[in-house]
Structure 1
Amino acid sequence: MMRRMIKPAAAMIAAALCLMFAAGAAALENDGDCVYTLMDENGQVLTMRAGRMYPGDEYIARDDRQYRVVQVDDGTMTAVAEYVGQDEGDTEALAAFRAYAEETVEENAEDGKKLICMYSTHSDECYVPSDGESSKWEDAGIYDVGNRLKKELEKQGITAVYSEETFLPHDADAYTRSRSTAEELLKKGPDALLDIHRDAIPAEQYETTVEGDDISMVRLFVGRSNQNAAANKAFAREIKRVADEKYPGLIKDIYIGKGNYNQELYPQALLLEMGTHEIEKEKAMGAAEYMADVLDEVLFGGSAKAEETKTEKRSSAASGIAWAVGLAILAAVVFAIVSTGGLKAAGEKMKRGASELTGGLFGKKNKK
């Protein structure tokens, strides 16, 4: 009797622990109102983040210096990070991603399909200078930014799907609610899945100028607690590399934090922080133009690369046809020689064959 009672009790305890773990994992993904400051071991401020920092989090700065969080003080909302070295990325993961991107370029040259899917887990996010407040349950500013990115991607010849589903309230369960939308979008077979957000730290952390335009920087956020973390990081690093080459100052940094943010669903899943609540929405929308070009370059090789690939394929096809025709002619000549027993007779036979095939256009002298 005692054993029968123990089994249900154990099951209940296990279930409770699972629920506690799930709740804890969700809490990691809730930005909240707290802003933590990250410093190096000398006390120099590296960056800020809306949401708690955890030991083991990684940070890749604008200059590619990489840090790892080693200490967190919740009382002062500060964290200390040790310098790891200059970021060179996971070479195997980067190589795998670049191989995937090259394959994608070739496939898209054949079928013309280029697809990026997007959604916004925090459906209330707004930009105070433009929207009047930081949060709205209807007509939130984040959707204006997402739609601008969609439009700019389409200008690049990319099909962009942006779900405007809402996942309110902005709490620890928002990512659980947005998961089903992410899964539905993945059924379309996109080349990337992007969750569009805005940060909640001071405006000066995001202000930048790119090619003379005053715009917002973009933070790339990776959830490290998932099986795709290496691939997600490789994707983020490649975006930063291309952006740094084409549009220096566009990418603020890469933060690799505890949690999964639904990124375990797909290797090319990423969270984009398009500016912050204190910056003008128009600056975040301005950043979308440059981000679209960078994403096109990273995922599809850019329009120039795509056209180059198409030209190579056309050239290869034409060359193949020429070879096939040449071999067919050679085979016909050899056959004629063998079947007639001599070059002269073979020549006469080839003339007759050509005349029959072309209606007498070849091998016939003009009448004077």
Structure 2
Amino acid sequence: MTTSRKAFLLCIITLSLLALLTSTAMAHEERSDGYFSFLDPEGNVFFQTALRVSLGDEFITENNKHYRVTQIEDDYAHCDYLGDIDLKPATQEGLVQPAWQAAPDPSTRPVSNHRNPRVAIYHTHSDESYEPTDGTASIAGKGGILKVGSAFCSTLEKLGLEALHSTTPHDPHDAMAYNRSRRTAAELLRQNPAALFDLHRDAVPRE
């Protein structure tokens, strides 16, 4: 085997290992079971997630209250309260403009001249389902999460937004699902959405 061929094969093997490590790392971002509860300084649960939590992680609630994780104990993330965040001045003063309000770049060619902002939705875990209504936690290629996406689209359209909903399946539900769904996300981004959502089933109890 020539030196150049050996170098080529070594390069292929290295890239394959890097891809495997990347996909494995992405899979470890989610817990296989259970979930974390975020506690405020008074010990009240204000948020729960099945994603991995690290010291220093920060979270802003729907009421714009800002917290930082300072201690992780079993399934509990203890947080310091950093204060309220005022998000309104940033958009009012034009510091951060929504995509549909920003001045168009003459060097770009928009896909269309739609006046309503577009919101794109897709599902990495397209099998995710709901036992109370679907009868099972997983339905290959057509999980109950797709119905949630349709309902989300309907609500957005009632608000005057244009919804782009991709129901492309990315099964199986494994470490490579995010790699497969990346192509779907890229296709949706070509349509210039103002926002892109990867919609998942909640991993914590209703109450």
> For residues 124-175 of structure 1, what are the alpha-carbon distances to aligned partners after superposition, in whole Å with 9 as ceiling and x for unaligned?
1222221122222143111111112223434455432211111122233322
Structure 2: how far apart are the matches of 1:41 and 1:90?
26
Deviation at 1:180, TM superposition (A): 0.4
Q: Which stretches in structure 1 are left out of the alignment for 5+ residues?
A: 1-6, 105-110, 205-368
| Equivalent position SS for 2:80 | strand
Write the distance in 2 (CA, Å) between the matches of 1:30 and 1:173: 13
**Per-residue Cα deviation, 1:162-201 (whole angstroms, up to 9, x for no partner):** 1111112223332221000000111122222222222111
TM-score (norm 2): 0.73
Alignment of 1:194-343 (within 5 A): 194-204=197-207
Structure 1 residues 195 and 177: CA distance shift in structure 2, 3 A: same
After TM superposition, the structure 1 = structure 2 runs for residues 1-368 of structure 1, keeping only pairs within 5 Å, are 18-19=18-19, 22-23=22-23, 25-30=25-30, 32-73=32-73, 76-89=74-87, 95-98=94-97, 100-103=99-102, 111-114=113-116, 115-204=118-207
Measured after TM superposition, the shift of residue 19 of structure 1 is 4.5
Asked if structure 2 preserves the Cα contact closer than 8 Å seen for 1:30 and 1:171, the reply is no
State the secondary structure of the residue aligned to 1:68. Answer: strand
Higher helix proportion: 1
Tell me the matched-pair count.
192
Q: How high is the TM-score relative to the length of structure 1?
A: 0.44
Greater alpha carbon shift after TM alignment, 25-34 vs 48-57? 25-34
Change beyond 3 A, Cα 1:136–1:92: same
Change (3 A) 1:199 1:12: same
Cα RMSD (Å): 3.6
* Partner Cα distance (1:45, 1:63) in 2: 15
**Aligned counterparts of 2:95 and 2:25: Cα–Cα separation in 1:** 29
Unpaired runs of at least 5, structure 2: 1-6, 104-112
Larger radius of gyration: 1
Separation in structure 1 between the aligned mates of residue 28 and residue 90 of structure 2, nearest angstrom: 28
Over the matched positions of the two proteins, sequence identity in percent amounts to: 35
Paired letter, 2:86: E
The alpha-carbon distance between structure 1 residues 80 and 93, as it changes in their structure 2 partners (threshold 3 A), is: farther
Task: Judge conservation of contact 1:71–1:80 (CA < 8 Å) in 2.
Answer: yes
